[in-house]
Structure 1
Amino acid sequence: MDPFDCFNDSHLLHYQYIFNIFQHYHGRVKHFDIRSPEEYRLIHLPLSVLIPFEILVPKVTLSDISKITDTTKLRRQCIVISFSLSYLPQAEILRKILLRNKCKEIHMLRDVEEFMLNYPFLIDGPRVKEYPNEIIPNFLYLGSEEQAHNPHIIQNLKITHIVNATKNGANKFSNLKYCKVTVVDQEDEKICRFFQKAYDFIESAMHENQLGANNVVMVHCALGVSRSATIVVMFLMRTFGLSLENAMKFLKKQRNKVEPNPGFLKQLEDFYENKFKFNKTYTGNQLKKLE
């Protein structure tokens, strides 16, 4: 699949957003499944709680449909309501009940069966505490070194290419293609020296997909916060013509914890001001704005 096509598919983007919600709030998600018991038994996401659709009628209360008595704890949780499209009215009833109980973060996972087809490893794969975040559906992920060294994650996400943005971290898997970005997370580090190398590596994998390949790229540093985030922001800016502000806004929606250090942000600002031109001899304030 051409990664550019993914941004025209609202369903894929919706599923990606929910997948990333599960990673961000791992262990703090209350997940309600609004389907029939037969559909639920056939396939469902782990830790989801079945609420049979037939009991969701107007005027029903939270205590009528759930064993939850302490709504204070529920208000602090991220809530996901998953449902088949035929049960949308019942899902809306539950959403209104939760809103009446002052629950603030509620996400609607429509067409849950299709979501599970896109992420089958969440159901039958080895249990993974937290996956890297999906940035471009079925193509680009951002995460930590620990995740990049986890064979279950590599297998489940079908990773083929890795950008390793650590100083001394190992390229662990011999069957994968690697791009090493040897930098430390310091404000005076010139990470822009590696912009073209990293961009060409990711773009080449994307181009091969347009020709029929199934490449999947993961970018990581130690924690997936600063160095690797900078590389991903750079790629988004140049590939989609985004400003730094818009690229960061999009990335934070997928992975809230990203925070490139001020020095890296300055280099990204200069990269945008110079119309995404690569400059391997960058020395901080020596880049001139292009007319």
Structure 2
Amino acid sequence: SRSLQKKKLSKDRFEQKLGNNAIPPATGSVKDLERVLYGGKRFGNHVDEVWPNLFIGDMSVANDRYSLWKLGITHVLNAAHGRMHSRVFVHCAVGVSRSASLVLAYLMIHHHYTLLEAINKVKERRWIFPNRGFLKQLCALDRKLHKTS
């Protein structure tokens, strides 16, 4: 009973600290990450610039050469290719899970963001929702990059 009460207090404090869009101090669980991902505004754009010269979007833009040209896109990443300093468009079918996971990993590896920092940075510009499997892999990457357990 006392242990359960202590857990409830910890959870209440954690949720209080989270607020609407605040991030927990550590990576947290997949459920915690999903809560952060569910929060905030949801955008219905086909393409968004989520980092300077880095775009996430859906298949409709990837197949529209005129839109890509208008955006100044020089490379399209569908699996894992492209140069570091080009304007890159990362896409998957809907533009919220696979492509977002690749962009999150990029920000974590090349810009030294934690997973939560990367999620919040991308969510400033686009609603994303990596699936649970990708979130688990991103958590493992976060632990590896920041050497926590």
Shorter chain as denominator, the TM-score bin is 0.5 to 0.7
Report whether the alignment pairs 1:259 with 2:132: no
Cα deviation code 1:125-145 (max 9, x no counterpart): xxxxx55100122x1100001
The CA distance in 2 between the partners of 1:158 and 1:247, in whole Å, is 24
Aligned pairs for 1:217-256 (under 5 A) are 217-256=88-127
- Out of 162, 167, 172, the residue aligned to residue 76 of structure 2 is 162
Cα deviation code 1:28-76 (max 9, x no counterpart): xxxxxxxxxxxxxxxxxxxxxxxxxxxxxxxxxxxxxxxxxxxxxxxxx
Q: How many residues align?
A: 109
**Alpha carbons 2:46, 2:58 under 8 Å: kept:** no
Q: Which amino acid aligns with 1:231?
A: L
The CA distance in 2 between the partners of 1:216 and 1:240, in whole Å, is 16
**Alpha carbons 1:230, 1:260 under 8 Å: kept:** yes
- Out of 33, 47, 50, the residue aligned to residue 135 of structure 1 is 50
TM-score, normalising length: structure 2: 0.65
TM-superposed CA distance for 1:205, in Å, is 3.0
Aligned pairs for 1:173-192 (under 5 A) are 181=79
**Alpha carbons 2:50, 2:124 under 8 Å: kept:** no
**Alpha carbons 2:104, 2:118 under 8 Å: kept:** yes
Which ranges in structure 1 are unaligned for 5 or more consecutive residues? 1-20, 26-129, 165-180, 182-197, 207-214, 277-288
Alignment partner, residue 144 of structure 2? 274
**Alpha carbons 2:61, 2:67 under 8 Å: kept:** yes
Aligned pairs for 1:103-118 (under 5 A) are none
TM-superposed CA distance for 1:253, in Å, is 1.1
TM-score, normalising length: structure 1: 0.35
The CA distance in 2 between the partners of 1:150 and 1:245, in whole Å, is 32
Change (3 A) 1:131 1:222: closer
Which ranges in structure 2 are unaligned for 5 or more consecutive residues? 1-40
Cα deviation code 1:91-132 (max 9, x no counterpart): xxxxxxxxxxxxxxxxxxxxxxxxxxxxxxxxxxxxxxx551
Relative contact order higher in (CA < 8 Å, ≥ 6 apart)? 2
Q: Which amino acid aligns with 2:111?
A: F
Larger of the two Rg values belongs to structure: 1
Superposition misfits of 4+ residues, deviation over 3 angstroms: none
**Alpha carbons 1:161, 1:218 under 8 Å: kept:** yes
SS at structure 2 position matched to 1:133: strand
Aligned pairs for 1:207-218 (under 5 A) are 215-218=86-89
**Alpha carbons 1:131, 1:153 under 8 Å: kept:** no
The CA distance in 2 between the partners of 1:131 and 1:230, in whole Å, is 17
**Alpha carbons 1:160, 1:216 under 8 Å: kept:** yes
Calculate the aligned-residue CA RMSD, in Å.
2.4
